[in-house]
């Protein structure tokens, strides 16, 4: 017998999210991480709206918000010469509290149920670790490095070296590698990355600046892009006491000088870390083999512009979580796990393209920089005007990719009753749709509960009957035959029916739409078999 059902390698945000999801589904899993403890190193800082919806389903969104940037803190994006000069441009974004008010008043399903949340990766990881450790079926083991694995056909064995030098094996039904961009598991499987690697190298420094946030005369925001020759930008971290500076510079000392130049006021600061990072736009040829799956940065590497790195990985974890659980609980058919690569690789591919789109936009306005940008001359004025004219179109691409975040759809999946054609995939606009394969749009019901909340979190499929009838259209029996959990949710709500456009929606456990119709499915057994992977 295996030691555990799922061995997860890597406690970055993706591995930790998968551990929490599997743990909440009652699957025994062991999460191993080579580091001794979570590191205080900056990387991502924004959970997008979709990730927050997924965390809401898992019952952890409020804990993420409580640990992150305060609800009322502004999320504006600036283009500046320094923090003390009038900004060249300010792109306003609602705080979480303001966005929640907008969402509460929205009626057309165009908004997510949850807004974004700024939370630094070094805050999110320890939080997710503590949540995973609360779950009785999750074992979290730091200081454990996977050195290799053996796929035994009926199980997979991870070969592990502990920090104290002791070696051990853990055998699992499945192994999921969430081991980041340098994934050793991906290399052992000889899976190649395709695309553009090492496009540009930045340095990133993390500074503790305890009194800067309250003294910024131009106002608080989350990103301050500096119109300079080094493509610098300053990011507010969740505590508001820490900032990261990114710049194309060669040394730590130059980073300190750049910080002083950008802040342009007397400043108390301490540099906590500084390291180079590279921009990549890469996707793996395959998302796994046999009993081994890959997720997160192990299979897609994007430019942080647009915030689609960790957020795409969280989507991978959620897609894989319910499919592993269903297979291990015995009701998932053979196509269920096979569909993981089909569904998620196309999203990885799209999000790499979305990241390229956003990064190209940012490069366009940065290309308008000229050394005379500060000059009180006509040519200086022209430089500023030209740069802002381009930024007004191009910078938005980084900050307004709601279509990429919410509008993705699983095309050609064996689990989805696809319909021909389908809406185009847009990066910057989200058009709510119930086209099979999409995420269920968020709609408020008459009593102001959200349809998504009424469905709840678990392993069950749901037939949403928007005509209010309590007839399961034969699907209850069909799912029961397969021993797959199924619930009927009749809703007598004309507004929701109008938005969703159909009387019946069959939802998978991840709330993606498997089928829609106005009359009972012609063959309920066939539909249930397809949705469960047979
Ligand atoms: C500057 C910057 C800003 C970013 N901003 C954003 C943002 O705002 N939003 C966003 O979505 N993304 C952002 N990203 C990207 C984001 O940080 C990554 O996409 C994310 O960290 C990927 O998570 P992961 O869990 O897949 O991998 P990682 O975070 O890389 O975690 C992998 C883990 O696996 C462990 N590991 C590796 N090998 C082994 C082994 N053999 N045995 C055991 N453990 C192992 C590692 O120690 C590590 O802890 C940013 C990235 C950078 C560099």
C-alpha distances in Å from residue 272, one per residue of 39, 49, 120, 204, 516: 12, 30, 15, 11, 53
**Each residue of 228-253: pLDDT tens digit?**
999 999 999 999 999 999 999 999 99
If you measure from the C-alpha of residue 235 to the centroid of ligand 1, how many angstroms do you get, rounded to a whole number? 18
- Kindly tell me if the per-residue pLDDT of 54 is higher than 90: yes
Do 186 and 287 form a contact (C-beta atoms < 8 A)?
A: no
How far does residue 186's CA lie from ligand 1's centre (Å)? 15
Instruction: Give the burial class of 501: count Cβ atoms within 10 A of its Cβ; 0-12 exposed, 13-18 middle, 19 or more buried.
Output: middle
For residue 145, give the ligand 1 atom closest to its CA.
42
- Give the integer Cα–Cα distance in Å for 12 and 129: 9
Exposure class string for 11-33: b at 16+ Cβ within 10 A, else e:
bbbbbbbbbbbbbbbebbbbbbb
Mean pLDDT of 55-80: 98
Beta-strand pair 201-208/486-490: unpaired
DSSP letter, residue 532 = T
Which residues contact ligand 1 via a Cβ below 6 A? 9-15, 32-35, 43-46, 121, 145-146, 178-180, 184, 204, 277, 296-297, 304, 307-311, 313
pLDDT digits over 289-317, tens only? 999 999 999 999 999 988 999 999 999 99
CB 202 within 8 A of CB 346: no
| pLDDT(149) > 80 | yes
Q: Could you give the CA distance from residue 115 to residue 295 in angstroms, rounded to a whole number?
A: 24
- Report the separation in Å between the CA atom of 297 and the middle of ligand 1, taken as the mean of its atom positions: 6
CB-neighbour burial class of residue 363 (10 A; exposed 0-12, middle 13-18, buried 19+): middle
Please report which confidence band the pLDDT of residue 1 belongs to, taking 50, 70 and 90 as the band edges. confident
- The alpha carbon of 126 and the centre of ligand 1 are apart by a number of angstroms equal to 14
Q: What share of the chain is helix, strand, coil (3-state, %, to 5)?
A: 35, 25, 40
Test site for ligand 1: of 51, 292, 304, most ligand atoms within 8 A of the Cβ = 304
pTM: 0.97
Each residue's pLDDT tens digit, 327-352: 999 999 999 999 999 999 999 999 99
Cβ contact 204:274 at 8 Å: yes
Atom 4 (ligand 1) nearest CA? 44
Return the pLDDT at 202: 96
């Amino acid at each position: 017998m295996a030691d555990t059902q799922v061995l997860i390698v890597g406690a970055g945000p993706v591995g930790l999210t998968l551990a929490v999801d599997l743990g909440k589904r009652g699957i025994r899993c062991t999460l191993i991480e080579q580091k001794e403890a979570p590191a205080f190193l900056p990387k991502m800082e924004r959970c997008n709206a979709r990730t927050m919806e997924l965390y809401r389903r898992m019952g952890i969104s409020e804990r993420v918000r409580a640990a992150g940037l305060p609800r009322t803190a502004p999320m504006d994006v600036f283009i500046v010469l320094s923090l003390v000069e009038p900004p060249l441009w300010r792109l306003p974004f609602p705080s979480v509290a303001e966005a929640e008010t907008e969402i509460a008043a929205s009626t057309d399903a165009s908004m997510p149920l949850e807004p974004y949340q700024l939370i630094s990766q070094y805050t999110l990881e320890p939080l997710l670790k503590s949540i995973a450790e609360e779950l009785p079926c999750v074992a979290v083991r730091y200081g454990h490095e996977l050195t290799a694995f053996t796929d035994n056909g009926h199980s997979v064995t991870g070969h592990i070296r502990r920090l104290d030098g002791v070696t051990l094996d853990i055998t699992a039904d499945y192994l999921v590698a969430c081991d980041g961009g340098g994934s050793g598991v991906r290399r052992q499987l000889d899976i190649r990355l395709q695309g553009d690697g090492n496009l540009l190298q930045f340095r990133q420094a993390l500074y503790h600046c305890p009194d800067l946030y309250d003294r910024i005369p131009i106002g608080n925001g989350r990103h301050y892009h500096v119109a300079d020759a080094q493509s610098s930008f300053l990011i507010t971290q969740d505590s508001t006491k820490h900032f990261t500076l990114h710049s194309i510079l060669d040394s730590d000392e130059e980073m300190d000088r750049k910080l002083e130049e950008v802040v342009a006021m007397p400043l108390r600061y301490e540099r906590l870390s500084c390291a180079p990072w590279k921009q990549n736009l890469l996707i793996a040829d395959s998302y796994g083999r046999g009993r081994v799956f890959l997720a997160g940065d192990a299979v897609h590497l994007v430019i942080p512009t647009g915030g689609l790195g960790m957020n795409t990985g969280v989507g991978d974890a959620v897609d894989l979580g319910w499919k592993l659980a269903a297979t291990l609980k015995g009701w998932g058919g053979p196509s269920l796990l096979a569909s993981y690569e089909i569904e998620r690789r196309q999203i990885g591919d799209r999000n790499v393209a979305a990241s390229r789109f956003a990064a190209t936009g940012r490069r366009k306005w940065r290309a308008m920089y000229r050394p005379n940008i500060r000059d009180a001359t006509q040519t200086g004025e022209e430089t500023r005007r030209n740069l802002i004219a381009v930024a007004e179109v191009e910078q938005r691409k980084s900050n307004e990719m709601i279509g990429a975040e919410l509008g993705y759809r699983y095309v050609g999946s064996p689990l989805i009753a696809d319909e021909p054609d389908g809406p185009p995939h847009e990066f910057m606009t989200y058009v709510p749709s119930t086209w099979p394969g999409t995420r269920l749009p968020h709609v408020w019901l008459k009593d102001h509960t959200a349809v998504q909340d009424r469905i709840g979190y678990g392993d069950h499929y749901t037939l949403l009957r928007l005509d209010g009838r309590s007839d399961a259209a034969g699907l209850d029996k069909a799912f029961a035959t397969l021993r797959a959990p199924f619930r009927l949710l009749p809703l007598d709500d004309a507004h929701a029916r109008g938005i969703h456009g159909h009387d019946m929606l069959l939802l998978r456990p991840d709330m993606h739409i498997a089928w829609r119709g106005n009359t009972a499915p012609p063959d309920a057994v066939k539909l249930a078999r397809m949705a469960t992977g047979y």
